[in-house]
Amino acid sequence: MPRRDPLDKVRNIGIMAHIDAGKTTTTERILYFTGKIHRMGEVHEGAATMDWMEQERERGITITSAATTCYWNDHRINIIDTPGHVDFTAEVERSLRILDGAIALFCAVGGVEPQSETVWRQADKYHVPRIAFINKMDRVGADFYGTVEHIRTRLGAHPIPVQIPLGEGELFTGLIDLIKMHAVLYNENTLGALWEEVEIPTALLPQAREHREKMLESISDYDDHLMALFLEDQPIPEDDVRRALHKATVDNKIVPVLCGSAFKNKGIQRLLDAITFYLPNPLEGGPVKGINPKKEKEEVRKPSDDEPFSALCFKVVSDPHVGKLNYFRIYSGKVLAGKAVYNANLGKHERLGRILQMFANKREDIEEAYTSDIVAAVGLKNTRTGDTLCDDGHPIILEKMEFPRPVIHVAIEPRTKADQEKISLALARLADEDPTFEVSTNEDTGQTIISGMGELHLDILVDRLMREFKVGANVGRPQVAYRETIRKAVIADGRFVRQTGGRGQYGHVKIQLEPGDPGSEYVFENKVIGGAIPREFVGPVSQGIKESMKNGVLAGYPMVDIKATLLDGSYHEVDSSELAFKIAGSMAFKEAARKADPVVIEPVMSLEVLVPDDYLGDVIGNINARRGRILGIHPRKHAQAIDAHVPLAEMFGYATQLRSMTQGRAVFTMQFSHYDQVPEELSAKIMEGPVFSRIG
C-alpha cells in the first residue's frame, strides 16, 4: 500500500497557548472548515469535539492533548490540541517534542500571559517554528498592536504581521492582507464561509503600507531576487513573498502574525493557508538524531519511508474500549499492523496489535503507517512516554523527554474493601499516562500518597479515578512537597565493620558533600585513585547515598541538589562486599549531611494576578501577607498585572479569597518557579508537623 500523502504536503502542527485564549474553539473551526465535522461544538456549551473527556466538558478547559487529521488545499494537517492550564504542562512538553511547527494563539485582550511564556520557552527548547494567531479580536479591549509588542518584548521573538485588523472589539469586521494588499470583509450571516475582497480603506492605507514595508524589509535577506525588487521599488509577486516568509519562519528568525476571531469564524481559512504556506514539512525538519544503544554512538534517521523504522511514543492513554493506547510519531521508515517492533529504551520486543488513525476520541484502523504519521497503537504492553520504537536490526534511542517534579501531594485511601483491590491498579494506569503524576507509600503510616503539579491536576486525577475506574476514595488535605538540602561543603567518613564469626563485613569510605546546582537533584563523582576501593564497590557507595537521600536528617523530607564525591576509602580482601560499601556510603552521607548546615526548602510559585486598578492595593497587601515578594507591576488596558513569587504553602484557597476581594474581577495564574529556604520560625513548625505530610 503506497503512502497516502507526499511528505512535502504534510504538516504536523500543534496549537499552544495560555488558558482561555481560544485554542479548542480555533481547532473546532479548523475541523469545520476542512469538512471534518458538520456542526461546530462550543466549549461554553460543553460540546467541543476535541474536549471529549467529561471533566473537560464540565470545566471548559483542555486537559489532554487530542490528536486529529484534516486536509486543506491538498495538504494533510495532523493537529495536536494541547492544554493551556499550567498544571498540565507535561502534556504541552511531550506534544511539542514531536511537532514540526506550531500555532501560538494569543488573546487580543490578555496579550502574552504567563503560560504563553512557558509554552513559548518549551517551543524554543525544541526549536519549533511558529506562526502567531491573535484571537478574540471581536472582544471589548482587544489590542492587536499591543499584543504584537508583547510578543516582541516579553517573548524576545521577532513578530511580523502579515495581516492587520479592520477595527478592534465590536468594530472588528475583517482584516487587511499585507501580501495581496487588499481588505477582507466577512459576511456575518454565513458563519465566516463567505467574504469579500475589497480595496483597503483610504484612511488605513498608510498604516497598511508601513507594515508591508516592515514585512518585506525583514524577509528580504531570505531571497536575493525579492531584495533586488524591494530595493528598486518594483512590484513583488505574492509567491516570492510567501517563499521568503516560509524560509525565515522555518529558520526560527521571524514569527508571522495573523489575526481573527475563532468564535465569530473570522480569519480561520487564512490561518489554514498560513499553516500550509509558512510552517515546515517533515523533510524541512531534517534528520532526527539518536544514540545506537549497542554501539553507544550517535546516529541519524532521515525523514524517509526507505530508512529503518524509528518512532517516539509521546503519550499513553487508558481507553475504556481498547485498553492501553500509545500515541507515537514516526520519524523514519514505515510499520505494519500486527508486526513486532523493538523498544530500544527497555531492550524488549513489543507487538503492534492494531494501528489507529485518531480523530479526537474516534478512530479508524489502518494497515500501515509511514514517516511523519502521528498514530496510536493497541498492544504495546510495556512502552511508556518517551520510549523509542524501532527496527531491532537498527536500534536507536531518540532524545528522552524530561518532566518537572511534582510539588503537591495528598494522601488517598480506598473507601471499601472492594475499592482497595482496584485502587492500586487504577493509580498505576494513571501514572503510566502522566509522567508528572507519582504514586508512593509513606513508610511511617502505610498511606498511599499521590503527587502532582497543582490542586487542579490532583483534583482531576481523583475525579477520573472515581468515574473512569469506578474506585471510591477518601482524599486528605493537600500537602506541600517540602525538600531538604545542604548549604556548605563537608568531608565525612563511613566505616561499616561487622565480625560475627566466619566471614565478616568491611567497607570504609571517605566522601565530600557539597551543595549542587539548583534542579540537579543528585550528582556523584568518583575521585578514588590507586585502587583504594575496587571499581565494583563504587556503584554501591553511590546507591547507599542515593537511598539515604530519600529521608533527610532534619524532618525526614527527601534531600535534593547535592553533589557527593568519593575521595578515598579502604577494603578487605575477604570481608568486603557490595552491601558493606552500600551501608558505609549511607553512614558517611548521614554523618556529612548533619554537619553540612542542612535546611528545609519549599516550592515557590511564579504568580501573575491581573487586577482592576480599584483593587490593586488590597491584592498587593494580600500577596505580602502570604510571604509573597512583588517582582513588578505592569499596566494593561483598564487593569494592572502583578508579578510575584509566593510560597506554595501560602497559596491554598487563594482563588476563593481573590474572587471575594475583587468581586470576581481579578484572575490569576500560578506555576512552579524554584525551591527556596523556609524561614527559620516556620521550619521549626514544619519539623513538628504531622508525620504523613513528610512525603517525597
Domain of 566: which CATH number?
3.30.230.10
pLDDT digits (tens, 9 = 90+) for 251-300: 999 999 999 998 888 899 999 999 999 999 999 988 888 998 888 888 99
Q: Give the residue with greater pLDDT, 641 vs 693.
A: 641
pLDDT digits (tens, 9 = 90+) for 90-143: 666 667 778 899 999 998 988 887 667 777 877 887 889 999 999 999 888 899
Percent of the residues in the chain that have a pLDDT greater than 90, as a whole number: 36
> What pLDDT, on the 0 to 100 scale, is given for residue 665?
79
Ranges 6-15, 398-407, 669-678: which has the least confidence: 398-407
Q: How many domains does the structure of the chain reveal?
A: 5
> What pLDDT, on the 0 to 100 scale, is given for residue 3?
57
The model's confidence at residue 593, banded by pLDDT at 50, 70 and 90, is very high
Please identify, among 432, 448, 477, the residue that sits at the C-terminal boundary of a domain.
Answer: 477
Statement to judge: residues 136 and 269 lie in one domain: yes
16-30, 433-447, 485-499 — most confident range: 485-499
DSSP 312-378: EEEEEEEETTTEEEEEEEEEES-EETT-EEEETTTTEEEE--EEEEEETTEEEEESEE-TT-EEEEE
> What pLDDT, on the 0 to 100 scale, is given for residue 690?
45
**Hey, what's the torsion of the CAs at 221, 224, 226, 230, to 10 degrees?**
80
Statement to judge: residues 504 and 647 lie in one domain: no
Q: How many CB atoms lie within 10 A of CB 633?
A: 14
Please identify, among 443, 477, 511, the residue that sits at the C-terminal boundary of a domain.
Answer: 477
> What pLDDT, on the 0 to 100 scale, is given for residue 49?
40
Q: For residue 202, give its domain range.
A: 7-278
Nearest to 357 by CA among 32, 79, 23, 30: 79
179-183, 478-482, 657-661 — most confident range: 179-183
Average pLDDT over residues 555-564: 91
Percent of the residues in the chain that have a pLDDT greater than 70, as a whole number: 88
Statement to judge: residues 587 and 610 lie in one domain: no
Residue 682 domain-assigned? no
Residue 102 domain-assigned? yes
pLDDT digits (tens, 9 = 90+) for 36-84: 655 444 443 443 444 334 443 333 333 333 578 888 888 999 887 665 4
Ranges 22-31, 145-154, 375-384: which has the least confidence: 22-31
Statement to judge: residues 106 and 221 lie in one domain: yes
* CA–CA separation, 241 and 163 (whole Å): 13
> What pLDDT, on the 0 to 100 scale, is given for residue 480?
86
Predicted confidence (pLDDT) at residue 186 exceeds the cutoff of 80: yes
Statement to judge: residues 187 and 314 lie in one domain: no
Residue 539 domain-assigned? yes
Q: Chain-wide mean pLDDT for the chain?
A: 84
Residue 283 domain-assigned? no
Residue 581 is given by DSSP the state: H
Statement to judge: residues 363 and 414 lie in one domain: no
Average pLDDT over residues 445-463: 81
**pTM value > 0.85:** no
Average pLDDT over residues 578-596: 94
CATH code for the domain of 110: 3.40.50.300
- What are the grid coordinates assigned to 550, written together? 530519600
Q: Give the residue with greater pLDDT, 217 vs 589.
A: 589
CB 494 within 8 A of CB 589: yes
> What pLDDT, on the 0 to 100 scale, is given for residue 454?
75
Statement to judge: residues 588 and 609 lie in one domain: no
Contacts of 588 (CB under 8 A, 6+ apart): 492, 493, 494, 509, 510, 511, 545
The model's confidence at residue 476, banded by pLDDT at 50, 70 and 90, is confident
The model's confidence at residue 349, banded by pLDDT at 50, 70 and 90, is very high
Statement to judge: residues 430 and 368 lie in one domain: no
Please identify, among 596, 623, 652, the residue that sits at the C-terminal boundary of a domain.
Answer: 596
Burial class of residue 567, CB neighbours in 10 A (0-12, 13-18, 19+): middle
The model's confidence at residue 524, banded by pLDDT at 50, 70 and 90, is very high
Residue 376 domain-assigned? yes
CB 456 within 8 A of CB 87: yes
* CA–CA separation, 325 and 645 (whole Å): 39
Residue 684 domain-assigned? no
Burial class of residue 270, CB neighbours in 10 A (0-12, 13-18, 19+): buried
CATH code for the domain of 453: 3.30.70.870
Residue 696 domain-assigned? no
> What pLDDT, on the 0 to 100 scale, is given for residue 547?
93
* Phi/psi of residue 294, nearest 5 degrees: -80, -40
Ranges 121-135, 235-249, 310-324: which has the least confidence: 310-324
Q: Chain centroid to CA 36: how far?
A: 27
The model's confidence at residue 689, banded by pLDDT at 50, 70 and 90, is low
Identify the residue whose cell numbers are 492587520: 164
**Cα 641–Cα 646–Cα 651 angle in degrees, nearest 5:** 100
Residue 548 domain-assigned? yes
Identify the residue whose cell numbers are 579502604: 570
* CA–CA separation, 133 and 122 (whole Å): 18
CATH code for the domain of 301: 2.40.30.10
Helix axis angle for 114-125 and 89-97, nearest 10°, is: 30
CATH code for the domain of 616: 3.30.70.240
Predicted confidence (pLDDT) at residue 512 exceeds the cutoff of 90: yes
The model's confidence at residue 342, banded by pLDDT at 50, 70 and 90, is very high
Q: How many CB atoms lie within 10 A of CB 5?
A: 15
pLDDT digits (tens, 9 = 90+) for 382-418: 888 788 999 988 999 987 666 777 878 888 888 888 8
Statement to judge: residues 162 and 89 lie in one domain: yes
